[in-house]
Amino acid sequence: MELEKNVIQDVIANLSFQTKAFIGGRTLSALSGKTFSTENPATGQPLADIAECDEKDVAIAVQCARKAFEDGSWSRMSPADRKRILFKFADLIEKHEAELAVTESLEAGKPITDCVTIDIPETVGCIRWHAEAADKIYDQISQTGPDNIGMIVREPIGVVGAVIPWNFPALMMAWKIGPALATGNSVIVKPAELTSLSALRIAELSAQAGIPDGVFNVVPGFGETAGRAIGRHMDIDAVTFTGSTEVGRMFLQYAAESNLKRIVLECGGKSPQVVMGDVADLDAVASNAVNCIFWNMGENCTAGSRLIVHKSIKDTLLEKIIALTAEWKVGNPLDPATKIGSMIEKPHMEKVLSYIEAGKAEGAKLILGGNRVLAETGGYFVEPTIFDNVTNDMKIAREEIFGPVLAAITFEDEAEAVALANDTPYGLAASVYTDNVNAAHRLSRALRAGTVSVNCYSEGDITTPFGGYKESGFGGRDNGIHAHEQYTEIKTIWMQL
Ligand code: NDP
């Protein structure tokens, strides 16, 4: 689907945001009556005032979720019936694709073309995929003697908290709720405070689809209050989180200090793009490399922010990357031609700009961009930025920038390439480019990352598990059948015959 400019204007003219919490099947103000304001980061103008849920609202959501789980209206529904309702849910999201895409573009500064062609369709596809799996996963029977039967069954874990980031608001929520709902759990979502609107609208659609009251709840609010309350609640069985490593650590603490709830973390990265000297088609590498770092403004946990390139081809590759970057137009996110929208908020833009200053101060060579642009719009735009002569000990090579900033680092041989690529506390994703099939196998095994894409930039798709090694992840995977594991308990039923 593509959206023409006039269609976008029509959608905006008819937009009315759902700004209340969604708890127990109803839209509710926060108990405190408080709201917080969200803005359009492409203009700096306020967009909506949203219910500011805190610990008390989370407690009610947990009560509703628990009640729904215990009454079995969803948790013990036949998987085929859950599938039917989840299909309807996905259909409704699809029906509202244009509205949701525009909402996300307005609230997150994301290019509308990406919202319409990637974020919302993949949200729909994710819910459908897990729904389809609901009645196709079998349990097991162990090898016992004739006098016993040992059944190994999977059961929903119970009440799941999902704490969501702002970079792919609907899609990251779908990655969590798709498998959690398909396996029969009740879910409480806390969206990022900067991007709550699509989650709140999708919650309304869940009720229309027939998901029973209390099974799917959304509590907008701040991390330090609503997020923390989810982490520390004694009656939440699991939390799935995507966001910074710093907050991920807090969830482990929350769990340790409360009920030892299961914690699943997906926490950022500093992904290497390793380009070996034997690659003939450097145009293809450049095209992938540009997409890998500038897609979603670099506000992407798999952004390939370190270009680790053989010194013999570095200059040629950088020339090609710079030439292709010219096609990555920075501009109004609602313009279908825009490829780079605004940073999510002013403090984040300032953080990205401070990394650029750090790169210059530490002696890296700025060869493209480096500035805030379009300041006259009131929005928080940063142009695509490339540094050459980076060493792996520099701040821009070590810390997650989460912006459109690429750092080029050279190597002389394969061993050095691997050492540089793995010299990071993160391990979410990596790309390898080589024309040598043996090197492709060696490197994809040697790189310590949850996803390694070879001769392309890819996160895999809904069929493949997604998550990190090292400080990029903990406790489970999103996507694929593996995602169902984090939302289920294994029970052994041992029978004497
Ligand atoms: P956070 O990790 O702070 O936010 C992620 C989610 O956690 C949000 O819903 C947030 O709520 C919530 N949260 C924040 N603080 C707490 C807390 N003390 N207890 C419980 N929940 C909390 O990410 P930021 O938005 O601050 O971004 C900071 C950096 O994190 C980025 O620059 C980037 O490096 C990384 N990041 C990585 C992402 C990824 O995809 N792995 C996604 C987003 C960010 P609230 O929005 O209210 O703060």
The residue behind tokens 């908290």 is 161
Supply the pLDDT for residue 63.
Answer: 98
User: Counting every residue, how long is the chain?
Assistant: 497
Supply the pLDDT for residue 404.
Answer: 98
240 close to ligand 1 (CB < 6 Angstrom): no
CA of 1 to the centre of ligand 1 (A): 31
Supply the pLDDT for residue 120.
Answer: 98
Ligand 1 nearest-atom number relative to CA 194: 46
185 with 483: CB under 8 angstroms?
no
161 close to ligand 1 (CB < 6 Angstrom): no
Nearest CA to ligand 1 atom 41: 268
192 close to ligand 1 (CB < 6 Angstrom): yes
405 close to ligand 1 (CB < 6 Angstrom): no
411 close to ligand 1 (CB < 6 Angstrom): no
Ligand 1 nearest-atom number relative to CA 351: 32
Whether this model's pTM surpasses 0.85: yes
> Which residues are known catalytic residues?
266, 301
CA of 249 to the centre of ligand 1 (A): 11
**Angstrom distance (rounded) from CA 268 to CA 75:** 32
**Burial group, residue 497, by CB count within 10 angstroms (0-12, 13-18, 19+):** exposed
SS3 state at 402: coil
Supply the pLDDT for residue 1.
Answer: 63
222 close to ligand 1 (CB < 6 Angstrom): yes
| Backbone φ, ψ for residue 222 (5° rounding) | -90, 155
Supply the pLDDT for residue 4.
Answer: 79
Kind and range of the H or E element at 411?
strand 405-411
127 close to ligand 1 (CB < 6 Angstrom): no
**Angstrom distance (rounded) from CA 41 to CA 106:** 8
For 24-138, strand residue ranges (E) read 26-28, 35-40, 45-51
Mutate to test the pocket of ligand 1, among 247, 350, 352 (most ligand atoms within 8 A of CB): 247
CA of 192 to the centre of ligand 1 (A): 7
Supply the pLDDT for residue 3.
Answer: 74
428 with 450: CB under 8 angstroms?
yes
Query: Of 355, 92, 49, nearest to 208 (Cα)?
Result: 92
- For the chain (497 residues), the mean pLDDT of every run of 10, in chain order, is 80 95 98 98 98 98 98 98 98 98 98 98 98 97 97 98 98 98 99 98 98 98 98 98 98 98 97 98 98 98 98 98 97 97 98 98 98 98 98 98 98 98 98 98 98 97 98 97 97 98
